[in-house]
Amino acid sequence: MVSFEEARSIILSSVGSAGVERIHLLEATGRVLAEDVVAPWDMPLWDNSAMDGYAVRSADCRTTPCTLTVTGFLPAGARADGMLVEAGCAIRIMTGAPTPDGCDAVVPVEETDNGLQQVTLNEAVVKGQHLRLRGEDVQAGVSFARAGTLIRPPEINMLAGFGLALVPVFRRPTVAILSTGDELVELGRTPGAGEIINSNTLSLAAAVQECGAIPRIIGIARDSRESHLEKLREGLQADVLITSAGVSAGDCDLVRDILEELGAQQKFWKVGIKPGGPTAFAMYGTTPVFSLPGNPVSTMITFEEFVRPALLKMQGLLRVLRPLFKAVLREPLKKKPGKVQIVRLLLEKEAGRYYATSAGNQQTAILKTMVDARAIAVLPAESTSFAAGDNVDVHFYGNYIELE
């Protein structure tokens, strides 16, 4: 049995990128850049006005009020070729228009009398005010977005501003999801005696989607060697395979043996974690294979702690673990030594500090505690008791948005 920390380390050192593809910019939101992107030209490409107003020479405006002769007009989109701000003159200019020769400041229209033939300036003029200088945002040849950058709307705007319609991103891995067991029935059928609905497949598919990968549900492997062989062969064609159940030591727990028969190399089986101890991880060539426990709570917790970071790494993200933060316990917690314990928590925030209470019964059969949980405590293996008022390490569970 490996420790919680060892299991994560083995997994993250085993998985690599799912590959690179070039996609249209509009499809790139939420994806991760696979290459550094270098500015092909200066941004902005020319000196331009940051305001609607008047292009002036600051030397003409040392005292106020100051009256200048208006000798031209530069709207956005116009060219300033041949235009010159002469002594005692101003050129009316719009935001984004290139600044004419001789101009070293722009006076906003609201600081003037808005004159058309002559304009009176009411405020002192500072050289360089309200000018956007060529290259002051990004200079040509400079990398403005690094590999590993998550593409958000601001990145979309800058990539588009440089005319980059296609961008290199890491591929989203396809994840085959397989549940095992004769007791399972698919959604839409009322379970009979001894049957349960195959809810794990759907929760795993949702979790895979939530972290950006592509789920591919391949059904149920029944409790026979032939069924396991057929379904596992199919699953191993994906970028990643996740199985649930069939990984303990029972007579019908066939997953590990069949995977070994098919050529998968087991990296570990059993982790020092509660819940979720009977978790296995293997590699089939470059395909990671996660064999998770069948109990729905254990399935979701082991996905959260082991599978999710691997899928994020495959998509090029550099930070794949949820950040830990401290929360103050409102009630005592006890555990046995020897294993990391994952505790489902409710959170409250008061005066900038988080306070945690148990989300309810922590038995792995209690699914509602998972529904109610807003955070997870990761309790160290050798610790046994935590008093009310103690600080514990926690992380948010799922895409939790704090509402205050």
Q: Across residues 97-102, what is the average pLDDT?
A: 97
pLDDT > 70 in the chain, percent: 97
| pLDDT above 80 (res 187) | yes
pLDDT tier at 80, thresholds 50, 70, 90 = very high
pLDDT tier at 254, thresholds 50, 70, 90 = confident
Token readout for 36 is: 């550094």
| pLDDT above 60 (res 244) | yes
pLDDT tier at 247, thresholds 50, 70, 90 = confident
pLDDT in tens, 2-33: 999 999 999 999 999 999 999 999 999 999 99
| pLDDT above 90 (res 186) | no
Q: What is the pLDDT of residue 309?
A: 97
pLDDT higher at 22 or 64 = 22
pLDDT in tens, 329-340: 999 999 999 999
Radius of gyration of the chain (CA): 31
Q: What is the pLDDT of residue 38?
A: 96
| pLDDT above 80 (res 322) | yes
H, E, C per residue of the chain: CEEHHHHHHHHHHHCCCCCEEEEEHHHCCCCEECCCEECCCCECCCCEECCCEEEECHHHHCCCCEEEEEEEEECCCCCCCCCECCCCEEEEECCCCECCECCCEEEEHHHECCCCCEEEECCCCCCCCCEECCCCCECCCCEEECCCCECCHHHHHHHHHCCCCEEEEECCCEEEEEEECCCEECCCCCCCCCCEECHHHHHHHHHHHHCCCEEEEEEEECCCHHHHHHHHHHHCCCCEEEEECCCCCCCCCCHHHHHHHHCCEEEEECEEEECCCCCEEEEECCEEEEEECCCHHHHHHHHHHHHHHHHHHHCCCCCCCCCCEEEEECCCEECCCCCEEEEEEEEEEECCEEEEEECCCCCCCCCHHHHHCCEEEEECCCCCEECCCCEEEEEECCCCCCCC
Q: What is the pLDDT of residue 141?
A: 96
| pLDDT above 80 (res 403) | no
| pLDDT above 50 (res 112) | yes
| pLDDT above 80 (res 252) | no
| pLDDT above 70 (res 249) | no
Q: Across residues 295-311, what is the average pLDDT?
A: 96
| pLDDT above 60 (res 127) | yes
Residue 10 half-sphere exposure toward CB, CA atoms < 13 A: 21
**Domains defined along the chain, listed by start:** 2-17+172-314 (3.40.980.10), 21-42+148-170 (3.90.105.10), 48-132 (2.170.190.11), 325-396 (2.40.340.10)
pLDDT in tens, 139-172: 999 999 999 999 999 999 999 999 999 999 999 9
pLDDT tier at 48, thresholds 50, 70, 90 = very high
| pLDDT above 80 (res 42) | yes
| pLDDT above 60 (res 282) | yes
Q: What is the pLDDT of residue 404?
A: 43
pLDDT tier at 223, thresholds 50, 70, 90 = confident
pLDDT tier at 251, thresholds 50, 70, 90 = low
Taking residue 1's Cβ as centre, other Cβ atoms within 10 Å add up to 14
Q: Across residues 360-373, what is the average pLDDT?
A: 90
Cα three-residue angle 168-172-174, rounded to 5 degrees: 145
